[in-house]
Amino acid sequence: MKQKARLAFPIVTAALGLLVSGGALRAQQDGPPVDVQQLLQALKGLKEQQVAQAKAIRQKAIQDISGAAASGSVAASAWEEAVRQVQFQGASKEGAQFREWKEREGDALGEKEVQSAARLHFNWMVITLQRSGGAQVKDLMPAVLQHIGGVLQDRVAAEALDERIKHEREMAQTGKRPGGKDKRKDDELAKRMHDHILNGSLAGGAPAQALKIRELLSVQSWEMSPGNVDGIYQNVVLPEFRATRDPRLMDYWEMKLKRESEAAGKAKLAYETERFNQVRKPELLWQRAQDMLVLGLKNRGLGEMLNLIKAHPAHPNCAGWIASLEKILMPAESGTAGSGTGESIRGGDPVQKE
């Protein structure tokens, strides 16, 4: 009898399994047919609604941030409020911790150099939001170039602050200036905050986090650091100048050569000066010659390239320069010698045809 029961148990179990699985299959049966056109129409409406909401959020952010960029003092206050919201809001003893931060670090926001950095940060946020909203680079170019000018002015003030810190450190070490340590500490704090605000990423900054607009700041082929002049030129300005054959390309290279030459001279080291003259300067002149081809100044560009190769045969890039110039001069399948249809070595981008 027990043996029969043991034999019957698997049969009952299997039967129950079939009943359960059958119920599951019935539960998974498809629903009634859907109206595809109706679904597509609904999705279209939702998409339009989402785009409209994003546009409204962006416009509100541009309005608010433009107000913050109006002056250094307003920008500093807006930065302080953003820090409060991101780092302290909702924390236990929020007020006490925020006051401690203001006493320890926040006081630096009263310094003119830090206020300048905050204003420039908000200014670049506005331009970036406009670009992410669909504005063309050519239409933003006046604002971009004005921003670059502001950063370059700020850089002069920041370098003066560096010199002041260096002088205060020297005076404190000689003991000729009682209390110099505290003043130097304040200036060093101001310099750190200045650099953090101006050289940090827009998306990672306290304002973007407080306003919840980090996603709206995502732009392809763009520079996300407000203070990176070279990055703004490389990612924003120069591509536009090359696309439109803007003669201001040559102004850029003159400025670039002047700035780097001055920086090498400030080092006051024979090695730095020699390296600039023998390595870095020829590299810059070669890039300038490439842009001469872009502007249609073929004879000038090719002449400068050949002169650089002759003058610097030991340069690390000389072999590449020769290969690049050969490609430009050699006949293309559908062109003739000297047509300028070869490729340059600037990132593999082809030199534009004349």
Judged against a pLDDT cut of 70, whether residue 67 lies above it is answered with yes
The pLDDT of residue 254 is above 60: yes
Confidence of residue 352 (pLDDT cuts 50, 70, 90): very low
Domain boundary at 189, 216, 242, which?
A: 242
Q: Does residue 108 surpass a pLDDT of 50? A: yes
Single out the residue of 105, 102, 143 nearest to residue 122, CA to CA.
143
pLDDT for the residue 175: 67
SS3 content of the chain, % helix, strand, coil (to 5): 75, 0, 25
In a domain, 337, yes or no: yes
256 and 176 within one domain: no
3-state secondary structure at position 247: coil
Condensed to tens digits (0 to 9), the pLDDT of residues 177-215 reads 545 556 778 899 999 999 999 999 999 999 999 999 999
Contact 228, 154 (CB under 8 A): no
Note whether 296 and 266 are same-domain residues.
yes
Q: 55 to each of 37, 68, 96, 208, 213, how far by Cα in Å?
A: 27, 20, 38, 16, 12
Any domain includes 27: no
% of the chain at pLDDT higher than 90: 65
Q: Is residue 252 in some structural domain?
A: yes
Residue 87, classed as helix, strand or coil, is: helix
Same domain, residue pair 63 and 193:
yes
Distance CA 242, CA 252 (A): 12
Burial 190-216, CB ≥16 within 10 A → b, else e = bbebbebbbebebbebbbbbbbebeeb
CB neighbours (10 Å) of residue 52?
Answer: 10
- Domain interval for residue 287: 245-354
175: left (phi over 0), alpha (psi -120 to 50) or beta: left
Q: Which residues of 89-124 are buried (b: 16+ CB within 10 A; e: fewer)?
A: eeeeeeeeebeebeeeebebbebebbbbbbbbbbbb
Q: Which residues contact 191 (CB under 8 A, 6 or more apart)?
A: 113, 158, 161, 162, 165
**Overall number of domains in the chain:** 2
234 shares a domain with 210: yes
- State the pLDDT confidence band at 32, using cuts at 50, 70 and 90: confident
pLDDT of residue 344: 42
Q: How many CB atoms lie within 10 A of CB 313?
A: 10
State residue 339's pLDDT score.
46
Q: Name the band, by pLDDT with cuts 50, 70 and 90, for residue 342.
A: very low
216 and 78 in one domain? Answer: yes
* Residue 322 pLDDT > 90: yes
Q: What is the pLDDT of residue 81?
A: 95
Whether 114 is in a domain gets the answer yes
Q: Where among 192, 222, 242 does a domain terminate?
A: 242
The answer to whether residues 81 and 206 touch, using CB atoms and an 8 Å cutoff, is no
According to the model, what pLDDT value does residue 180 have?
53
Same domain, 168 and 298: no
Is pLDDT of 1 > 60? Answer: no
∠ CA 123-154-72, nearest 5°, is: 50
- Do 251 and 336 reside in the same domain of the chain? yes
Per-residue pLDDT, averaged over 271-278, amounts to: 92
- Helix crossing, 72-83 with 112-132: angle to 10°? 80
Instruction: Name the residue among 116, 109, 125, 133 with its Cα closest to residue 57.
Output: 133
* pTM, two decimal places: 0.79
Are 177 and 250 members of one domain?
no
Q: What angle do the packed helices 298-311 and 318-329 form, to 10 degrees?
A: 150
150 and 273 part of one domain: no
Of 202, 217, 242, the position where a domain reaches its end is: 242
| C-alpha to C-alpha distance for 157 and 194, rounded to whole angstroms | 11
The CA distances from residue 264 to 2, 53, 183, 273, 329, in Å, are: 99, 51, 30, 6, 35
Window from 51-60, 115-124, 244-253, 315-324 with minimum mean pLDDT:
51-60
Angstrom distances, CA of residue 286 to CA of 67, 158, 290, 302: 43, 31, 6, 10
Does residue 166 share a domain with residue 264?
Answer: no
249 pLDDT higher than 50: yes
Give the pLDDT of residue 268.
77
Same domain, 74 and 176: yes
Do 277 and 295 sit in the same domain of this protein? yes
Tell me if 336 is assigned to some domain.
yes
Q: Look at residue 349 and tell me whether its pLDDT is greater than 70.
A: no
Q: What percent of the chain has pLDDT over 70?
A: 84
